[in-house]
Amino acid sequence: MIRKLSIALMFILLSPAFATVTPVQRSAGEVASWDFDVYLNDKKVGKHEFKVIETGGVRQVQSEASFTYKILFIPAYRYQHSAAERWTDNCLVEFDASTNANGERIEVSGAQSGSGFVVEKDGNPVELPDCVMTFAYWNPDFLEQPRLLNPQTGEYVDVRVENLGEETLDFRGQSIAATRFTLKAYGVDLTLWYSTDDEWLGLESIAKGGHIIRYGRS
């Protein structure tokens, strides 16, 4: 079960890089933030927080995640992830991501070069197209991409997205209209909700074994 949880969290947390189209128009330098409580099978296991600062068309993005899964009150799995990214014109310019998955440390970085975007992990560079996007959940534009970069693993994966239409969502004690999307990739099965103003409202993932991981706005 712990191995399955680890894989599921790695795919959900590959998102913390963000793109340049926001759900709400903001002035230069204004901070936008998304704070989520994270639940495993309706049990809170941690938090995932995002912050975006825009200056002169450039976006600086910070994200922090910390989870602890306990069995009989004893920590059985710990997960920490942090990432810093810089974006221009809807393209990732550079990023640094650091992960501690239950003691396994993973460091991945990337930056635009003269001919493309170069991702480096364990000293091994891999060149991708010059304009790439990650799993930028807070930005609906990422849903239009056929491939996305996982900044935690350095993998560039094929994705399939489907718009399931509008439904009513209970959000902070109020019923609001929301659009539901599914996103599927190898080993990934996600559901995402966005408001009519394109604001990211929540996420749910069904992991192997039927375990449900859910993000709820704090």
- Between 115 and 98, the more confident residue is 98
Stated length of the chain: 218
pLDDT at 106 > cutoff 70 = yes
Looking at residue 73, what is its pLDDT? 67
pLDDT at 94 > cutoff 70 = yes
Calculate mean pLDDT across residues 5-33. Answer: 47
* Dihedral in degrees, nearest 10, Cα atoms 160, 163, 164, 165: 180
* Dihedral in degrees, nearest 10, Cα atoms 37, 38, 40, 42: 20
Domain ranges for the chain, please list them. Answer: 2-158
CA–CA distance, 78 with 45 (Å, rounded to integer): 10
Looking at residue 19, what is its pLDDT? 27
61 close to 86: Cβ distance less than 8 angstroms: yes
